Structure 1
Amino acid sequence: MWLKHDDCRKLVQESWRNQVYVCPMFILGQKLKRLKSAFRTWNTEVFGNIHTRVKNSLAVVDVIQNCINENGPEQELFDREVLAQNQLLSDLVMEEDFWKEKSRLNWHISWDRNTNFFHKVTKIRQVTKTMSLLKVGDEIMTSQSDIANHVLDY
């Protein structure tokens, strides 16, 4: 999400430009600390709460559309609606990127451990692979116990 923003590269360059003179590993550590604090500040100032931005953009679009319904079609309102729709679309894309990153983070953090996440994924796979009905000749079996008994007898 941050990499798609134009100012991200500038922020990294400005933060990295400051010189520190000690051993190379200390220099790297100091520059990374500065970059982290710069990213935190930049995130709150530029992006803020993404979910609130989506709600606010949606509210603006609703207000403009209500004005169009009440006052009739006016070019100024149509222009404002187009701008509001574009803002809403960009906020929705940003929110989608946010959730994609969150899902990847959860996947990397929780996948290889014996956790609740792993068990949920396994149960979902197990449910989707169950046999819900079995046709034997002209007879269709839908009961799990009937299907199990038939498979065992076979």
Structure 2
Amino acid sequence: MAEPKIGPRRRFPFRFEKMWLSHPNLSSSVKDWWNVQVDGSAMFQVSKKLRHVKEEVKKWNREVFGDIFVQKFAIQEELGLIQDKDQNEGYVNDNFSKESEVFSKYHKIIAQEETFWRKRSRSLWLKDGDKNLRFFHISTLKHMAANRIGHLVKNGRRIDNEDEISGVVVEFFAELLKKDTLLDLEAQNMLVDIIPKVLSDNQNHNIDVIPSKEEIRSVVFSFDGSKAPGPYGFPMFFFQHFWEVVGEDVSNVVKEFFGARSIQKELNATFIFLIPKKQGIDSLDAFRPIILCNSFYKIISKVLTSRMLNILPLLISPQQNGFAPGSQILDSIILFMKTFIHFWR
């Protein structure tokens, strides 16, 4: 028999689960948790409130919502006992009523489990209503196995230890991201001199004018709420679902960014996630890094890019077909703009 693996338990980042929204008292609880008194700038207040909600919801999940897999097993056991009693004693009204009640709880827990696996399976093409939980489970396991870094090779040496692999990854990207790729000041000034001025002062002003709460709300609700969250662990659906509670604070953060032209470090933190370009690779050069940004960065960048899209026809001539909507070049420009915003502090 294999020896059990001994070592510190891995800590996974917090993630606000969509299945929690099915609980009747969560909305009132989030409202109470969010409305704590915090002094300071809008960004500081939201950072503190998100931390507070995170700690409270983790406690609420342990003490109130509970483990859905344990609950599912208990409900199945209870249902089995009732059905055994029906076979032994015959169907009576009391048993039928109890069985219906337990069946109702079972369907509810199944729906929550489906939501849990749907998020992890990453099968976003699947429409609501399919309760094929085995499919979700298998998709999740395949997704995790495909993206797992089992070993790396550095300087001809194979590295299998998980802690060593983590160290190599951190070292690789720390070296990569500290490289100065910006042009020096003289070269930047030369570029400014040779690029003709196309936009009016009013058009330039409209790009970075402080947005209204209505514009910010429209951007927030334009997102796919199920996308992976950043380090804070709150996906966009959290802000969409609780907009009446958090909307004022979210809007103040975005407005503060446009006024100060800087963003708090915590709100701009990101995860770097490595996607293998093919199976069986063991070099970090063969992974494609993607950045999982916080929701506030996504909101701010989309406000800016939406405004930029309105003036791109003035900057791009009709003959430049490569910049047509949907083209890779235009997508690259938008990606560059978002990246620029990310490092603009």
Q: Which TM-score bucket, shorter chain as reference?
A: 0.5 to 0.7
1:119 aligns with 2:279: yes
Equivalent of residue 16 in structure 1, options 34, 43, 51: 34
**Cα distance in 1 for residues equivalent to 2:86 and 2:31:** 46
Matched to 1:53, the amino acid is Q
What is the alpha-carbon distance in structure 1 between the residues aligned to residue 67 and residue 98 of structure 2? 23
Match of 1:78 in 2: 96
- Identity of counterpart residues, as a percentage? 27
The amino acid across from 2:279 in the alignment is H
In terms of mean alpha carbon deviation, does 62-71 or 20-29 score higher? 20-29
Alignment of 1:29-40 (within 5 A): 29-40=47-58
**AA paired with 1:52?**
V
Corresponding letter in the other structure for 1:15: W
The alignment partner of 1:19 has SS state of coil
Q: Distance in 2 between matches of 1:43 and 1:103?
A: 22
From the superposition, tell whether residues 8 and 67 of structure 1 become closer, same or farther in structure 2 (CA, over 3 Å): same
The gaps in structure 2 that reach 5 residues or longer are 1-18, 124-139, 148-272, 281-345
Structure 1 residue 25 displacement after superposition: 2.0
Structure 2 residue identity aligned to 1:71: E
| 1:32 Cα deviation after fit | 0.8
Aligned residue for 1:2, secondary structure, equals helix
SS of the residue corresponding to residue 113 of structure 1 reads strand
TM-score, length-normalised on structure 2?
A: 0.31
Q: Which residue of 2 aligns with 1:27?
A: 45
Runs of 4+ in structure 1 displaced over 4 angstroms?
none
Asked if the contact 1:54–1:91 (Cα under 8 Å) also holds between the matched residues in 2, the reply is yes
1:28 Cα deviation (Å)? 1.3
| 1:45 alignment counterpart | 63
* Matched-pair contact (CA < 8 Å) for 1:64–1:81: yes
The alpha-carbon deviation at position 93 of structure 1 amounts to 1.1
**Distance in 2 (alpha carbons) for counterparts of 1:67 and 1:28:** 54
- Structure with the bigger RCO (C-alpha within 8 Å, sep 6+) is 2
Letter in 2 for 1:5: H
CA distance 1:40–1:17, change in 2 (3 Å): same
